[in-house]
Amino acid sequence: NAGVTQTPKFQVLKTGQSMTLQCAQDMNHNSMYWYRQDPGMGLRLIYYSASEGTTDKGEVPNGYNVSRLNKREFSLRLESAAPSQTSVYFCASRDRGRSGTDTQYFGPGTRLTVL
């Protein structure tokens, strides 16, 4: 049981390049999330998916797209990277199925630098 996994762990891009961050969970959770973490800002929600086939914008969605490929996988795409997107990106999945267990589980993060 790996929990939430993310690839890659580190990435350096040049301005204008594109890339996709991958996330997978093996806990059979319906809901999945992408956050970014910047120094002194805490974590901010980029996009989320309440269930397979649905996605919604969070607090900071500009410059990103997401795909909920199936129940396990939720990817985040940067079409044209900008230096302002330099950040640490965390994927999470949420256990909402049982009373008293509403908890988000986080992956290890992807550290992205855009030059």
Partner 1 sequence: AQSVTQLDSQVPVFEEAPVELRCNYSSSVSVYLFWYVQYPNQGLQLLLKYLSGSTLVKGINGFEAEFNKSQTSFHLRKPSVHISDTAEYFCAVSVSGGGADGLTFGKGTHLIIQP
* Minimum distance, C-beta of residue 18 to partner 1, in the bound complex (Å): 24
Alpha carbons 61 and 55: distance in angstroms, whole number: 11
Retrieve residue 51's tokens: 């269930």
Residue 77 CB-half CA count within 13 A: 7
* Minimum distance, C-beta of residue 107 to partner 1, in the bound complex (Å): 6
* Minimum distance, C-beta of residue 16 to partner 1, in the bound complex (Å): 28
Strands 87-95 and 103-106, by their bridges, are: antiparallel
Task: Tell me which residues touch partner 1 (CB under 8 A).
Answer: 4, 30-31, 33, 35, 40-45, 48, 50-51, 56, 58, 90, 92, 94, 96, 100, 102-109
Q: Count the Cβ atoms, other than its own, within 10 Å of residue 77.
A: 13
Q: Which is nearer to partner 1, 13 or 91 (CB)?
A: 91
* Minimum distance, C-beta of residue 66 to partner 1, in the bound complex (Å): 13
Q: Which is nearer to partner 1, 17 or 73 (CB)?
A: 73
Q: Which is nearer to partner 1, 63 or 108 (CB)?
A: 108
Alpha carbons 43 and 61: distance in angstroms, whole number: 13
